[in-house]
Amino acid sequence: MGKIAFVFAGQGAQKPGMGKDVAEYSKAAAEVFENADRVRPETTRQCFEAEMEELAETKNTQPCVFTVDLAMAAALGEKGIKADDVAGYSLGELAALTYAKAFDFDEGLKLVSRRGELMQIASEKYDTGMVAVLKLPDEKIEELAAPYDKVFPVNFNCNGQVSVAGDKEQLDAFKDDAKEAGGLVRILTVSGGFHSPFMAEAAEAFGDVLAEAEIGEAEIPVYSNRTALPYEGDYRDLLQEQIANPIRWKNLIEHMIEQGVDTFIELGPGTALTKMITRISKEVTMLNVCDVESLELTVERMSEC
């Protein structure tokens, strides 16, 4: 058996009631939620009881998904399953860095909470949105976006799937172009044009936050959304740049596989990363933990290895 990688979910995975059954099942997961409430009161209530409208606010989404991501990791750790390498999608990268002990949980939650607030402020300044374009090559999507000055391919997720951020008026026209070219377009449940130039102000402000944070070296490799390679040097630059630049998820996963990862476990409220990684490689084992049922199945599968 090769290496095990944990991959932590990002924004868009949130859903009402997320993490509640695992917190009731796992003492370690419950402790994560208790710690979250100590740092950011109301986190557990939002995860377990809030309606989608409240959860979809970026300032709430990010700390809540971060907490659920790490609660799932704690539940697996309680069963003796740990990661050799880690990565996270967008905000999930902060969960990955926390898991790898580049900073502690309190620092991680403070950072992701402030990140969410700054990104929400930036998103409210512009009338922007995001769509996923399926069934078209990356190059074709970039070609279709090129005539627009406020439309940006930003998340290169897997074969035949790219997320595009943009001004809503231009994005509507782009969607028509993508459909005409044979693409399938899906509107994403996010509140702004993330990982694009629309987030430049948020990235700059987050740089000031990072300058005051206590950040050390991760104990295991953490793969960066920005470079698709393991973090090295001063982590602050990559964390700051990630907010306003594309996510190279497909390249990131390919590099992890090249370095010996053959088992991926998605942690968090949804299964979006599971679907992406399955499309990137048919040769790896793909598992996920989003509730008690999937936790038990993953533990059972891992015990067979």
Mean pLDDT of 293-303: 97
| Statement to judge: residues 168 and 248 lie in one domain | no
Residue 144 to residue 153: CA distance in whole angstroms:
10
- Average pLDDT along the chain: 96
| Res 140 pLDDT > 90 | yes
Confidence at residue 6, expressed as pLDDT on a 0 to 100 scale: 98
Residue 258, pLDDT > 90, answer yes
Last residue of a domain, one of 148, 170, 187: 187
Amino acid at position 235, single letter:
Y
Per-residue model confidence (pLDDT) at position 232: 93
Residues 52 and 149 in one domain: no
Catalytic residue among 113, 123, 191, 195: 195
pLDDT of residue 234: 87
The answer on 247 and 102 residing in a single domain is yes
Catalytic residue, chosen from 26, 90, 113, 196, is: 90
pTM comes to 0.95
- Strand 3-8 relative to strand 184-187, pairing: unpaired
Assess whether 223 and 299 both reside in one domain. Answer: yes
Looking at residues 113-137, what average pLDDT do you find?
Answer: 95
Question: What confidence tens digit (pLDDT) does each residue in 187-234 have?
Answer: 987 778 999 999 999 999 999 999 999 999 999 999 999 999 999 988
- CA 120 – CA 192 distance, rounded (Å): 7
Q: Please give the pLDDT value at position 171.
A: 97
Q: In terms of DSSP bridges, do strands 184-187 and 128-134 run parallel, antiparallel, or are they unpaired?
A: antiparallel
Neighbours of 179 (CB within 10 A): 12
Supply the range of the domain harboring residue 132: 128-187
Distance CA 137, CA 194 (A): 21
Are residue 83 and residue 65 in the same domain, yes or no? yes
Residue 94 pLDDT > 90: yes
37 and 99 assigned to the same domain: yes
Q: Are residues 216 and 106 in the same domain?
A: yes
- Tell me, yes or no, whether 42 and 156 share the same domain: no
Total number of domains constituting the chain: 2
Amino acid in the structure at residue 71: A
- pLDDT of res. 282: 94
* Domain shared by 20 and 140, yes or no: no
Q: Is 195 a catalytic residue?
A: yes
* 235 and 168 belong to one structural domain: no
90 is catalytic: yes
**How does 198-236 read in b/e, with b if 16+ C-beta sit within 10 Å?**
bbebbbebbeebbeeeebeebebbbbbbbbbbbbeeebe
- Both 8 and 156 in a single domain? no
CATH number, domain containing residue 135: 3.30.70.250
Q: Quick one: average pLDDT of 40-64?
A: 96
User: Residues of the chain with pLDDT > 70: what percent?
Assistant: 100
